[in-house]
Amino acid sequence: MNLLHLWVLLRKRTREANRDFGDPGAITGVLTVIAFASVTALLLVVVGGVGAFAARAELPNASENAQTYLVFAYIAAGLLLVPLATMGGAAARLIVARRDERLANLRLLGATTSQITGLSALDAASQSIAGALLGAVAYFGLIPLVGLVPFEGHGFGFAELWVGAPLLVGVVVAVVVLGIASAVLGLRRVVVSPLGVTKRESTPGLGAIRLAVLAVALIAMVVATSTPAASIAFIAIVLVIGLATLNVVGPFFVGVVGRLYVSGARSAPDLLAARRIIDDPKTAWRSVGGVALATFIAGLASVMALFSKASNPEEQLFMTDVSTGGYLTLAIAGVLAAISTGVTQAGRVISQREQYRNLHLAGAEVEVLEKARMRETVVPMVAVVGLALGASALFMLPVLGAGFFSSIPVLLRFVASVVFAVGLVLLGAGASRGLARAAAAL
């Protein structure tokens, strides 16, 4: 039996399970395609925006701030690159989560590593291709909407935001490659320890060495923003690297929060949520990591109000545009965080479906299981927002001083932005409510 034939049979068996036993796999398939489509569409919008600012900077009548606009566009693109890649990886892991137990059983029955890898690659390719093509179509619909946002006194035209056919194809291929690579890398436990997957053994803990990475990144951010001679480009690079390190230290931080949470648990939902956070802090971090970036961006966008008093109309327009760009970046980051949370939560429910079923059969009400599922998102999210607030303060205080805290309108704007991002993440977490109920009822 060749690999393609085996893959077709596996997909057929999955569809039969969805139809006969109410398996929630069909829902996760839709979520996976939506995630890949969102990554593709938003990545094309971000790339198109950078290209539009670059084109304006090259015009003969370009403004004196044209190059600064371009630098800020690169900063926004760099900030969004990490969550875009993270969400693409989460979508691929969701594909593996749907098949991990079945692939592990095939591995135990004698399937080779190359066969297991090939099956997952085909699965990831089929859904990532569908999502990427759908995202490319959605990109055409987003161009007119983005063009409504004015910069330098007028919006961008279709030709300015159009990335061109070669780059469009390149982005689609990159998303597909990301999906396949993430799915194959996610097979490590299935290939190396299929018995562990079948027995639902926990993953190993995380080392405290991750804290050293965060300390180095924070020191670099403070030094960069405190150095008068540092250029905007240098600060931007340090900023993006600093935020990227959050993905390294974030799981360890969430694991510590889980251990503190379990020590004070006083109810079944609290205890269940805390144990799930401790068992898999990486997944818990992926559920809420996007809100950390959104919180940081909210701080950067809000403080632009402190510079609203400009000496001339051109400077006033520039500061207004910087604030507008910040909030546009915040909106994209918030949407990414919500979708990433929904996809990660779906994968978590699928991987824990046997636990949901056993707890329900043992007498646990669905409402209790649902409260636990939401709390394993809310508790880390509150802690992560606090971590992001501290990181943004370290970045902004050397530049702005205490003026940020003395401006009530700026603080209100900041709080509203954080509430907006948190609300989107909670909506993303709530999207898996039906999936959790279906898993418990199996």
Please provide the DSSP assignment of 386-427 as one string: HHHHHHHHHHHHHHHTTHHHH-HHHHHHHHHHHHHHHHHHHH
User: Which of 123, 114, 112, 116 has its CA nearest to residue 180?
Assistant: 123
Displacement of CA 37 from its chain's centroid (Å): 14
Residue 349 has pLDDT above 70, yes or no: yes
Q: How far apart are CA 165 and CA 388, in angstroms?
A: 38
pLDDT top residue among 323 and 140? 140
What is the per-residue pLDDT across 248-260, written as a single tens digit (0 to 9) for each?
Answer: 777 888 888 888 9
Mean pLDDT of 49-66: 87
Separation in Å, CA 361 to CA 367, 369, 439: 14, 12, 12
pTM: 0.80
- 373 and 274 Cβ atoms separated by less than 8 Å: no
| DSSP H or E stretch at residue 150 | none
Q: What percent of the chain has pLDDT over 70?
A: 71
- 349 and 437 Cβ atoms separated by less than 8 Å: no
Q: How far apart are CA 338 and CA 341, in angstroms?
A: 5
pLDDT of residue 171: 93
User: Which residues have C-beta within 8 Å of that of residue 215, sequence separation ≥ 6?
Assistant: none
- 252 and 206 Cβ atoms separated by less than 8 Å: yes
Q: How far apart are CA 16 and CA 10, in angstroms?
A: 10
User: Which of 223, 222, 220, 217 has its CA nearest to residue 245?
Assistant: 217
Q: What percent of the chain has pLDDT over 90?
A: 11
Tell me the two tokens of residue 214: 């965060």
Range in 141-145, 211-215, 320-324, 410-414 with the lowest mean pLDDT:
211-215
> In 148-231, which residue ranges form alpha helices assigned H by DSSP?
158-161, 165-185, 188-192, 194-198, 209-226
Tell me the two tokens of residue 438: 């279906």
On average, the pLDDT of the chain sits at 77
Q: 229 φ, ψ to 5°?
A: -85, -5
Bridge partners (DSSP) listed for residue 91: none
pLDDT of residue 229: 47
Q: How far apart are CA 50 and CA 14, in angstroms?
A: 42
User: Which residues have C-beta within 8 Å of that of residue 172, sequence separation ≥ 6?
Assistant: 40, 132, 133, 135, 136
pLDDT top residue among 367 and 442? 367
Residue 173 has pLDDT above 90, yes or no: yes
pLDDT of residue 442: 60
